[in-house]
Structure 1
Amino acid sequence: MTGTATLDRGTTTGGPAPERGVTRGAMLLTASAALVGVGNYGLSVFLVHALSASDYTVYSALSSVLLSVGTLAGATVPWVLAREVALDVAGSPRRRTSVRFCLRLSLGLALMCAVVACGAVVPYAGPGPLAGMAASCVAIWVNSVGAGYLQGCRRFAALGFLRLGEVAVRIAVTAAAVLAGWGAAGAISAFSVGAAVASALGLLALRPDLVGGPHVPSGGPCGSGLWRRALSVGGIQLLCCVLFTLDVVVAAAVRSGSGELAPYQALLVLARIPLFLSTALATVVFSQLVGISARDGAGQLRPVLRLHWIGSITVTVLVASCPDAVLALVLPPQYGTSAALLPPLALAGAASATTVLVSVVFQVWGPARRAVAPLAVACLLGGGLYAVAAVSPLRLAWCSAAVTGAVAAALLVRARRRVPGLGPLAGALGPLAAGALAAAALFALRPHPLPWAGAAVLVLCLGAIAARPVRRGPGPYRVLHLGFEDPRRPGAGGGSVRTHEVNRRLVSRGVEVTVVCAPWPGATATVLDGVHYVPLPAHPGPLARSRFASQLAYFAAIVVGLGRLVRRHAPDVIVEDFAAPFSSVCIPHLTRRPVVGLVQWLAAADKGREYHLPFHRVERLGLASHTTLVAVSADLGAELARRNPAARVEVVPNGVDPAAFTHRTTPRGDHLLYLGRLETSSKGLDLLLRAYARAAPRITADLHIAGDGPHADAARVLAEELGITARVHWLGRVTGPARFDLLATARLVCVPSRYETFGMVAAEALATGTPVLAFDIPCLRSLVTDHVGIRVPPEDIDAYAAALTALVTDPARCAALGVAGPGHVRHLDWDRVAEAQLAVYQRASGRGFEGAPAVVGHS
């Protein structure tokens, strides 16, 4: 087998998840955010009419502060928890630790926010509103933990329902309190009731990872990481919240709660609808981006930014151009002069929405300082500018638009540098051009309410059409192959050959295949014949030098990082190669994606005896977890069916490269050949050396040994002890056409395996016309039959030595057995194997595939 390994450091680790998955989750939360925004605005309109101007000013100031608390709570603790929940399996100690950590953190922050919030509004709020505000702060923060858990589990429908339920309860309680005459105090207390109901529902959702399980101290490495992430995410979100509420808080303090700010505050909810929408988008895209690189994340950011631009620009244009007559339908007469505030407030709302969404880039990939610096400067300068501009609501609105617009532009520039591939202005050029045309038409129609309303409906419809996910043809069929062994690794066996031969043929048909393998010294993410190979863990350090340690590190990395791999590669099916020493690590229990178990090896019991560890118990659990299994031989398939009767077992044998059947004119020698991994526990190289030592005095044929592996040095030592060093020739690893030339020139190929899953070397030897001498073990009985080779009792060294002597001294018999070999294995075709295996994948995933015609792969 030959091929050129092409190193592709930036792209070999996978592609983005499907766009429709991101957009569907975003649309769910966007719809709930829209309903929440409508509900909030409806409540504001009701309170405008039901409260006096001074009471409404107090309520609006306090509700703005609570909105800031809610925004901070919803963007810090939930996002820290969502990351951990998304990366860890249910019930794991790390996930339980994260849940408990975030619950304690939320309670601490709730008390801090309650003190700060009450202190900020104490100059113009009485004891009743202050008590309601303190209770609301606690309930809001506790609710944020449940929201983060649902976000990490990607239960966006449940998360949307939780938010809608909170708003519905708050609206009902607020209306009842105001109608009962409780004024601003009753309206503010309603926040705590709604948040308390949502908190109870959220705690019920996370109960499985909150109650029971081992306690892991939060001060360890896990806790330190959580604190760092909490500080990073919380710092950015805190500055965002301060920036978005600074205008109202500063103006209310400067004007001592003057009723002149009521129109400004009443329109602020309407102007900030884009902020609610972008918060929903950010919630979804954050959980999608966690665990993937910034380069790969561009593919997931683009559709979300596109949806943001279309939604924000559409709402901004409609709000900014709203006629006075339309505003008069929902606002009392004393707010009739507020229409002039709409353009700057709408621009400020769009800029705030952009800031929220773009800041996700730095919360996921960092460094946080790139977002913290412009946000901090904007807060410092904005505080002073707002204090000066507070004398006029219109001046305050334009000042807010300038400050938030500047920080949004700065973050966009930095985000484009951090995430390559976002395009000019991060994809905003098209929506901005369309928005400018729509704004020109709507502003021209502003003096005419009815035509404006018709044009507004048209703009909304066009925006909805443009915001729909782009419909594409069927995407590529993706396979995530947990292949364990890299074929380039020294000592790699026939299992990795099968993996590569099948996968490169699938790639030729248009399938995207990523193979995750154990690390080894010098291993890098590589593309080989179109197949992406990714070592995991990527940076194992000294573990890579030990084969056994790297194997254990591989399994640990798979168990911990499978969720991240699935999000990065978005596979239609996951293939788990059963591999030493565990066989399987229960992959079907770790993901909801379809999983196919590819069994080339089933001897965990042997490895357990070798290392004195209960590997067979892990194998038993792993085998039971699978519902679809592929065996490489009929004997192995029968064993799998016996051990797991509930699974669908399909036998797909290995193939033989067409190059092996090519007629060769090189004369056949009289030497014996061993080709394969230099290993004793399964390959039986020690048995061959001992048998050859007993036969050597009676034959003239030397023994050639080709390959590499973990027991090469031990085999050389054994050959020296047996006194056959001069008769044994070590050829090293042989690949490509030279492999088949080597097989074709031998008198006899020795396969002394104690255990085999298929017998790749035996099949290739028969294809070249060379007979095989093997032990009579399962998986070789149907391959090495009496008319193409000889089998002797398992591990019987004397019988092996006698058969070896008989064949070497009878060239005519060797030739007769060799002639029958090619016809015996002619049916073992890699193209047919690849087609059969792809059919298994299709049945398991429930997705058909129509790609290019199969391409015969020649080495």
Structure 2
Amino acid sequence: MTQAADEPALARAGLLVAGATVVVSLVSYAYGIVLAHGLPSAEYAVFASGQTLLLLAGTAASAAVPWALARAVKAHPAGTPQRRAAMAHALAVGVLGSVPAALVVAAVTAVYAPFPAVAAVAAAVVAIVLSGCAVGWLQGEQRFARLAALRVAEVVTRVGAGAAAIALGFGAAGALGAFVVGSVVLSVGGLVARAGGARAWADLSWRRGVVRDRAQWAETAGLSAVQALLGVVTAADIALAPVVAGTGPDTAAYQLAAALGRVPLFVAAALAVVAFPRLPNRAVTKEAVTKEMVSTYGWLALPATAVLVTAPPQVVSWLVPAHLAGATSLLPLTAVTGLGLGLMTLAATVLQAQGAYRKTVAALAVAAVLMAAGTAVGWHSWGIATGVCLAALVAAGVLITAARLPLPWASLVVALVAGVVLWQAARWAPAWMVATVLVGVVVLRGVRKPRQASAGPRLRVLHLGFEDPALPGSGGGAVRTHEMNRRLARNHDITVLTTRWPGCVDRVQDGVRYEHVGIGSGRTHLGRIAGYAVALPFVSRRHAADLVVEDFFAPVSSIGAPLWTGRPTLGVVQWLNAGEKSRQYRLPFFLVERAGVRTHRRLVAVSEGIARRLRAMNASAEVEVVANGVDAAAFEVTAPRGDDVVFVGRLEIAQKGLDLLLAAFAGQADRLPGDLVLAGTGPDERRLRAAAAEHGIERRVRFAGWVSGAAKYRLYAGARVVAVPSRFETFGMVALEAAACGSPVVAFDIDCLREVVPESAGVLVPAFDTAAYGRALADLATDQARVERLGSGGRHLARAYSWDRLAMDQDRVYRAAVRDWQER
């Protein structure tokens, strides 16, 4: 089987097992909640501990029998001596291993449980171990659809039998005995069911000397040792809680919270079932399967953890019975614990596939010590949930390092869950923030693509440009995107993924393809941006590219494209205003911006001011300045000089400072010869009209609507003064265009504008001093000679900003980014 054919098969198998995992988890959750409500605390503690011991036994048995058998079944055709020998060995291990395992588990259970529960647990251990032959055969045959269906059938049967036993008065013992019934369904369905049953039955045989086959026992012993240790690491806290603390309400509350928080662990175990037989396969590299397994884990486990961590206590309290109410406050910590345990399981799976049993056992032994220490310390100080959670995170780091899982992903997960722990302890951030970050990581890591090398001198460039230049009200960023790309399209294939908006149409414009992506129709600004950010990682997978260019956009600047593109990625930074947006909306956008900047190795800034900030945030990144340009048509437009003060841009108060401009104009209205013209559209037009009325200048303020092209340049050229009252800017495109049209500019003295409004082209006023700004407008507007002198100086300045020259600089940066990627 080729790699191309095998990867979709793995993806389909992963979806099947994932779907079964979801169903099993939901049924088990519902069952556990019902028992928590229906059983007394002491009975529930017995059931929870016994169920965890069975999980531990099943985990060890899943390697002792199914994994070794699956590898042999996959390697040898049906009916061959090798496969029959493997089946015979699996049967022998099941028979010989189930009895001592049952005795050990029964001995532990006997410490705190009555005899009926002990007997039920022992019988269930035998049934679970023996069902391993069916599971291993299905894994090796890659019959994942049947395996998924049988897993669902097993849990449904077990729950039904358990509920019936409890209704008949058998209590916890009856619920534990139901595991026997479920395991029988799994065994019969796997080996005797109609599809493939004949082949499985033919393979199942006995041969003399099977017990003395040292080669088979060597692999089984290694897998069993690893899985036994893994079971101890992942289940000991629940299983031994009654031994340490008795069967009181506090113990039962912790067991309930821990069981609810184990969803990520169950996801990891299901993925290991799919991935383990494929890891040794040469047709698909171990690295590819490992990445697929870890990525799928992120898709499934992180959202589940986010939901559990951020679920409001009022919602959780609906599920938790009153006598176990303590489980509600413990659930966030136990969910993070489950995430760490799942990572350990994935790492152990990778190590076992490599045959590194000693290394795996050593790493798990360290993890077991850490978990024991965390349990003990937590029990006597912070609480067992906190102690176990911290221990699980550290132990996950040990296993991740030993297995060499994809470190950027794993490190990010560990950092995030550590943040969740801090949040739970200190309550420093709202719950929705944690959920947003965790789900964001799922999106980012789940869509990662393999690297693609350069196709040659003509690059395929995928530009993530959030704003379509055809969108009414689009700003200077969209102008830059198109002006650069239409020139670069002479030598490269350029596709721009941009936001949806009502009336948008995918098109090819000046050799550049525009494709609109997002969720919904994009009727609102927030809807456009949010839908774009969510859909972008998915849609970008459909496009082959030698280079991905990420335009930063408000309010978060970057969404960390290098983390999920898997290809050379360059950040083009026109926006670095998350700090201002954070103050405006009182949301921590600056944290996202900082993290996004640090994911990039190469960045392009449109000004020296932006470049300095980028270098301060990411000292390891290579930052180059490629400024915005001005259209040659701006120099050719002429118009008679008028008397008006003109503003061109988005009608937005927070950034563009239009409230400051209205106050400044009102203060000097009697000295200004013309009106104030506001050209553009935006979210604050209604507020601006109201503000003009409050200042008493509504008759002096004209709203000109959206202007573009030659009409915009004529408006600039006919202005007495062009006002740029921005509180912050990324470059100052309006100032540069006004200068090219021969009109002077009045602006606040802020970063970026200093570079395009020198003394020869305009006037800079102390930042946000509206009285000084009004005086500057009036002084300039009443001095015709100065207006013409500054206008001439502006034209000379603007000629240095040629789009053609700047596009050549950007082309050089693009090629350097691709070369740097190839040489890594």
Q: TM-score, normalised by structure 2?
A: 0.51
How far has the Cα of 1:122 moved from its partner? 9.5
Q: Residue 384 of structure 1 aligns with which residue? A: none
Q: Secondary structure at the match of 2:755?
A: coil
1:106–1:145 CA contact under 8 A, matched in 2: no
Q: Residue 284 of structure 2 aligns with which residue? A: 159
The counterpart of 2:464, out of the listed 470, 473, 482, is 482
Instruction: Output the CA distance in 2 between the equivalents of 1:151 and 1:757.
Output: 53
How far has the Cα of 1:517 moved from its partner? 2.2
Amino acid at match of 1:595: T
- 1:513-569 residue CA offsets vs partner (Å, 9 max, x unmatched): 2222233223343333232223331x425xx222123322322333xxx2x434311
- 1:592 matched to 2:574? The reply is no
How far has the Cα of 1:775 moved from its partner? 0.8
**RMSD, aligned α-carbons:** 4.9
Q: Secondary structure at the match of 2:193?
A: helix
Provide closer, same or farther for how the CA distance between residues 519 and 120 of structure 1 changes in structure 2, counting only shifts above 3 A: same
2:83–2:203 CA contact under 8 A, matched in 1: no
Instruction: Output the CA distance in 2 between the equivalents of 1:505 and 1:702.
Output: 38
- 1:731 matched to 2:713? The reply is no
- 1:604-633 residue CA offsets vs partner (Å, 9 max, x unmatched): 111111111111111111111111111101
Q: Secondary structure at the match of 1:681?
A: helix
Q: Residue 527 of structure 2 aligns with which residue? A: 549
How far has the Cα of 1:688 moved from its partner? 1.1
Provide closer, same or farther for how the CA distance between residues 828 and 66 of structure 1 changes in structure 2, counting only shifts above 3 A: same
Amino acid at match of 2:526: F
Provide closer, same or farther for how the CA distance between residues 106 and 535 of structure 1 changes in structure 2, counting only shifts above 3 A: farther
Could you tell me which runs of 5 or more consecutive residues in structure 1 were left unpaired when the two chains were aligned. 1-19, 30-35, 49-62, 79-104, 164-197, 220-470, 850-859
Instruction: Output the CA distance in 1 between the equivalents of 2:458 and 2:139.
Output: 44
Q: Secondary structure at the match of 2:703?
A: strand
How far has the Cα of 1:592 moved from its partner? 2.2
2:677–2:701 CA contact under 8 A, matched in 1: yes
Provide closer, same or farther for how the CA distance between residues 126 and 147 of structure 1 changes in structure 2, counting only shifts above 3 A: closer
Amino acid at match of 2:501: W
Aligned residues: 483
Instruction: Output the CA distance in 2 between the equivalents of 1:693 and 1:531.
Output: 44
Instruction: Output the CA distance in 2 between the equivalents of 1:217 and 1:824.
Output: 53
1:748–1:771 CA contact under 8 A, matched in 2: yes
- 1:522 matched to 2:527? The reply is no
How far has the Cα of 1:672 moved from its partner? 1.6
Q: Residue 156 of structure 2 aligns with which residue? A: none
Provide closer, same or farther for how the CA distance between residues 834 and 156 of structure 1 changes in structure 2, counting only shifts above 3 A: farther
Instruction: Output the CA distance in 2 between the equivalents of 1:206 and 1:578.
Output: 26
Q: Residue 73 of structure 1 aligns with which residue? A: 143
Q: Residue 189 of structure 2 aligns with which residue? A: 112
How far has the Cα of 1:727 moved from its partner? 1.5
1:502–1:830 CA contact under 8 A, matched in 2: yes
Provide closer, same or farther for how the CA distance between residues 812 and 146 of structure 1 changes in structure 2, counting only shifts above 3 A: same
Q: Residue 444 of structure 2 aligns with which residue? A: none
Instruction: Output the CA distance in 2 between the equivalents of 1:480 and 1:527.
Output: 14
Larger radius of gyration: 1
- 1:626 matched to 2:600? The reply is yes
Instruction: Output the CA distance in 2 between the equivalents of 1:681 and 1:523.
Output: 27
How far has the Cα of 1:758 moved from its partner? 0.7
Instruction: Output the CA distance in 2 between the equivalents of 1:493 and 1:481.
Output: 17
Provide closer, same or farther for how the CA distance between residues 781 and 146 of structure 1 changes in structure 2, counting only shifts above 3 A: same
How far has the Cα of 1:108 moved from its partner? 8.5
Q: Secondary structure at the match of 2:556?
A: coil
- 1:740-769 residue CA offsets vs partner (Å, 9 max, x unmatched): 111111111111111111110110111111
Instruction: Output the CA distance in 2 between the equivalents of 1:202 and 1:731.
Output: 55
The 5-angstrom pairing of residues 538-687 of structure 1 reads 539-541=519-521, 544-558=522-536, 562=537, 564-662=538-636, 664=638, 666-687=639-660
The counterpart of 1:741, out of the listed 692, 696, 714, is 714
- 1:229-272 residue CA offsets vs partner (Å, 9 max, x unmatched): xxxxxxxxxxxxxxxxxxxxxxxxxxxxxxxxxxxxxxxxxxxx
Q: Residue 820 of structure 1 aligns with which residue? A: 793
Instruction: Output the CA distance in 1 between the equivalents of 2:813 and 2:468.
Output: 23
Q: Which has the higher contact order (CA 8 A, sep 6+)?
A: 1
Amino acid at match of 1:112: G
1:147–1:202 CA contact under 8 A, matched in 2: no
Instruction: Output the CA distance in 2 between the equivalents of 1:584 and 1:477.
Output: 23
1:703–1:729 CA contact under 8 A, matched in 2: yes
2:78–2:199 CA contact under 8 A, matched in 1: no
Provide closer, same or farther for how the CA distance between residues 690 and 845 of structure 1 changes in structure 2, counting only shifts above 3 A: same
Q: Secondary structure at the match of 1:555?
A: helix
1:792–1:799 CA contact under 8 A, matched in 2: yes
How far has the Cα of 1:119 moved from its partner? 5.5
Provide closer, same or farther for how the CA distance between residues 506 and 125 of structure 1 changes in structure 2, counting only shifts above 3 A: closer
- 1:24-58 residue CA offsets vs partner (Å, 9 max, x unmatched): 989x99xxxxxx9998589969999xxxxxxxxxx
The counterpart of 2:807, out of the listed 826, 834, 855, is 834
The 5-angstrom pairing of residues 142-541 of structure 1 reads 145-146=271-272, 149=275, 157=282, 159=284, 215=304, 474=456, 476-509=458-491, 511-537=492-518, 539-541=519-521
How far has the Cα of 1:582 moved from its partner? 0.8
Q: Residue 740 of structure 2 aligns with which residue? A: 767
Provide closer, same or farther for how the CA distance between residues 750 and 77 of structure 1 changes in structure 2, counting only shifts above 3 A: farther
How far has the Cα of 1:150 moved from its partner? 8.7
How far has the Cα of 1:126 moved from its partner? 7.9
Instruction: Output the CA distance in 2 between the equivalents of 1:652 and 1:619.
Output: 21
1:704–1:729 CA contact under 8 A, matched in 2: yes
How far has the Cα of 1:660 moved from its partner? 0.8
Q: Secondary structure at the match of 2:729?
A: coil
Provide closer, same or farther for how the CA distance between residues 41 and 600 of structure 1 changes in structure 2, counting only shifts above 3 A: same
How far has the Cα of 1:69 moved from its partner? 7.9
Provide closer, same or farther for how the CA distance between residues 216 and 743 of structure 1 changes in structure 2, counting only shifts above 3 A: same
How far has the Cα of 1:476 moved from its partner? 4.5
1:77–1:148 CA contact under 8 A, matched in 2: no
Instruction: Output the CA distance in 1 between the equivalents of 2:582 and 2:474.
Output: 21
- 1:76-112 residue CA offsets vs partner (Å, 9 max, x unmatched): 889xxxxxxxxxxxxxxxxxxxxxxxxxx99987762
Instruction: Output the CA distance in 2 between the equivalents of 1:831 and 1:110.
Output: 72
Q: Secondary structure at the match of 1:781?
A: helix
Q: Secondary structure at the match of 1:535?
A: strand
- 1:780 matched to 2:759? The reply is no
Amino acid at match of 1:557: A
- 1:794 matched to 2:794? The reply is no
* Identical-residue share of aligned pairs (%): 40
How far has the Cα of 1:578 moved from its partner? 1.4
Q: Secondary structure at the match of 2:673?
A: coil
1:596–1:844 CA contact under 8 A, matched in 2: yes
Q: Secondary structure at the match of 2:465?
A: strand
Provide closer, same or farther for how the CA distance between residues 606 and 70 of structure 1 changes in structure 2, counting only shifts above 3 A: same
Provide closer, same or farther for how the CA distance between residues 653 and 144 of structure 1 changes in structure 2, counting only shifts above 3 A: same
Q: Secondary structure at the match of 1:846?
A: helix
Provide closer, same or farther for how the CA distance between residues 76 and 592 of structure 1 changes in structure 2, counting only shifts above 3 A: farther
Provide closer, same or farther for how the CA distance between residues 109 and 771 of structure 1 changes in structure 2, counting only shifts above 3 A: farther
How far has the Cα of 1:113 moved from its partner? 2.7
Could you tell me which runs of 5 or more consecutive residues in structure 2 were left unpaired when the two chains were aligned. 12-71, 85-132, 149-181, 211-215, 217-222, 224-267, 309-452
Q: Residue 666 of structure 2 aligns with which residue? A: 693
Instruction: Output the CA distance in 2 between the equivalents of 1:108 and 1:38.
Output: 24
